[in-house]
Structure 1
Amino acid sequence: MFKNAIIYRLPAPWAITAEDLSRYLAPQAFTPLGGLDMQCMGWMRPREDGMLVHQVNRQFLLRLQIEKKILPSSVINQVTRERAKELEEQQGFPPGRKQTKELKEQITDELLPRAFTRLSGMWIWIDPVNGWLVADSSTPAKAEDALKLLFKAVPKFPLEPVRTVMHPGAAMTDWLASDEAPDSFTVDQDTELRSTAESKATVRYVRHTLEANQIRQHIETGKQCTRLALTWADKISFTLADNLSIKKIALLDVLKEDVGAIGKNEDERFDGNFLLFSGEMSKLLADLIAAVGGEVMNRSAETTPC
């Protein structure tokens, strides 16, 4: 269901119900853009006939909807230049900086109601049993949009970043240097190594066999792994980044067979797919955190969290 995973920590277990969370989110329900608004976002029901929080076996699924108007600056500038020429002819001299700025703002307001809009969304999975919140976002910055709404909506929202004993980049570099993946994982054929020096020299392998000797040479010259393709338990392949974000999540054949056998109607398949995904991903995340040395539970710990 998710292609990406930005991972956060919640208390385990987190004593909140889907009904209570839906009630907190209700004031932030998605409303389509107004005439002069550039962007809006809010929560949508994952299923049309359900609540804002869809629950399957104590696993929660949320859907953030984002609507943005597409009004290129080149169009605004072009119309502004045309209007400025007309204004110059009328008043006998070109408009000054302040007048041009006001003209540009006026034109933006005129064009906004006619601008095209683009809809996008983000899935949020909350596992209150094992204490995970995962955003299907390609970057942490985009995930922050959803988190800001949650912090505003939920009283004392107990979310924290994941802090690990080893920095993920250092851990991945160790795996490559030793040519040995941690338990339950295998190393695939994509990786990126970047120099820690000012040059930031970077080497990328894409669908290429990772020769241990070549990789060690790069590491010995001061490069560290920033991205590594992995497979977990022969079930899920993904790419791990040095900020602990996950991309290119893909179910492998053994799980695809399970997906194909789920449910007879759309609702059953949706719930079954979500239950399968959340169950396997919870195990994957636990193994991944163990592979980077476990979590730093006390911020005053001597180890440096990522």
Structure 2
Amino acid sequence: MATAGWIETIGDNLTYESGQYLLLTMQREEKIIPTHVIKDELNKKISKLETEQGRKLKKTEKDSLKDEVLHSLLPRAFTRKSRNRLIVDRKEGLVFVEGNSARKAEDMLALLRKSLGSLPVVPFTPAEPVELTITEWIRSGFPRGFTAGTDVMLKAILEDGGAVRCKKQDLHSEEV
């Protein structure tokens, strides 16, 4: 079970504005209950009721019990919180989403759509694949304003290709 909403970005403000840009922060809170805990509690309840009533429970009754068990465990569940930001460029009509997965980006855009009523956006598609561009940057040098870090994960483009992960490594060294 998860909930998501906008939280204060800076100070007590939900948004931070600078010129044409608007910054928002989404927080997602997920309740974590291990599957085996739910199954154990559910099996105890099912066994107890079947013994008391002297019959096997129907699937609908078991499903209803599962919901009860889940709701009874929620107050004791672990909570995982994550925050992501997005920037709206009102002049250019662009939305920049912080995140490393399409799902996270879509979750944020869905919340923004819900908040605004509608939001006709399409994902940005670069002219050249990003992986080829970055590979060329590593070979030839980064454009002005960009620098190489020291951590990288290199993956082969091929379906069964390998992957190499480097930490605290000069990306221009012979090893890399």
TM > 0.5 fold call: yes
Distance 1:95 1:181 in 2: 68
| Residues 13-36 of structure 1: per-residue CA shift (max 9 Å, x gap) | xxxxxxxxxxxxxxxxxxxxxxxx
**Aligned-residue offset at 1:90:** 1.8
**Cα displacement string for residues 127-157 of structure 1 (whole angstroms, at most 9, x for unaligned residues):** 3345542223232311211101222333663
Q: Root-mean-square deviation (CA), in Å? A: 3.1
Q: 1:71 corresponds to which residue?
A: 33
The answer to whether 1:183 aligns with 2:143 is: yes
What is the match of residue 254 of structure 1? none
Alignment CA distance shift 1:211-1:63 (3 Å): closer
Distance (whole Å) between structure 2 residues aligned to residue 172 and residue 48 of structure 1? 36
Once residues 119 and 190 of structure 1 are traced to their aligned partners in structure 2, the CA distance between those partners, rounded to angstroms, is 25
Q: Secondary structure at the match of 2:4?
A: strand
Offset of 1:207 from its aligned partner?
2.1
Provide the rounded CA distance (Å) in 2 between the counterparts of 1:118 and 1:213.
Answer: 41
Deviations 1:45-71 (A, max 9, x none): 435554x43223343121223333333
Closer/same/farther in 2, CA of residues 190 and 84 from structure 1, 3 Å limit: same
**Partners of 1:155 and 1:107 in 2: CA distance:** 35
Q: Does 1:109 align with 2:71?
A: yes
Flag the 1:95–1:205 CA change in 2: closer, same or farther, 3 A: same
- Structure 1, unaligned runs of 5 or more: 1-37, 216-306
Residue of structure 1 in register with 2:6 after alignment:
43
Following superposition, the deviation at residue 42 of structure 1 comes to: 2.2
Confirm or deny that 1:201 pairs with 2:159.
no
Shift of residue 110 of structure 1? 3.1
- Shift in CA distance, 110/200, structure 1 to aligned 2, threshold 3 Å: same
CA distance in 2, matches of 1:141, 1:123: 14
Q: Deviations over 1:258-300 (max 9, x none)?
A: xxxxxxxxxxxxxxxxxxxxxxxxxxxxxxxxxxxxxxxxxxx
Q: 1:156 to 1:174 in 2, by over 3 A?
A: same
Secondary structure of the structure 2 residue equivalent to 1:126: strand
Deviations, residues 141-176 of structure 1 (Å, cap 9, x unaligned)? 112111012223336635332222211111222334
Question: CA separation of 1:113/1:192 partners in 2, compared to 1, >3 Å: closer, same or farther?
Answer: closer
Q: Identity over aligned residues, as a percent?
A: 29
Q: Distance in 1 between matches of 2:116 and 2:141?
A: 39
Contact 2:142 2:148 in 1 (8 A): no
CA distance in 1, matches of 2:111, 2:70: 28
User: Helix, strand or coil: the match of 1:46?
Assistant: coil
The 8 Å contact of residues 45 and 54 in structure 1, kept in 2 or not, is answered as no
Match of 1:57 in 2: 19
- Rate the CA distance shift 1:62–1:201 in 2: closer, same or farther, 3 A: same
Q: Which residue of 1 aligns with 2:134?
A: 172
How do 1:86-165 residues align onto structure 2 when only pairs under 5 Å count? 86-95=48-57, 97-113=59-75, 115=77, 117-129=79-91, 131-154=93-116, 157-165=119-127
For the residue of structure 2 that corresponds to 1:208, the secondary structure is coil
Distance verdict in 2 for CA 1:156–1:106, change over 3 Å:
closer
Counterpart amino acid of residue 53 in structure 1: T
Aligned residues: 175
Contact 2:137 2:143 in 1 (8 A): no
Specify the code of the residue in structure 2 equivalent to 1:109. Answer: H
Would the aligned equivalents of 1:85 and 1:94 in 2 still touch at CA under 8 Å?
A: no
Secondary structure at 1:161 match in 2: coil
Written as runs of structure 1 = structure 2, the 5 A alignment for 1:269-288 is none
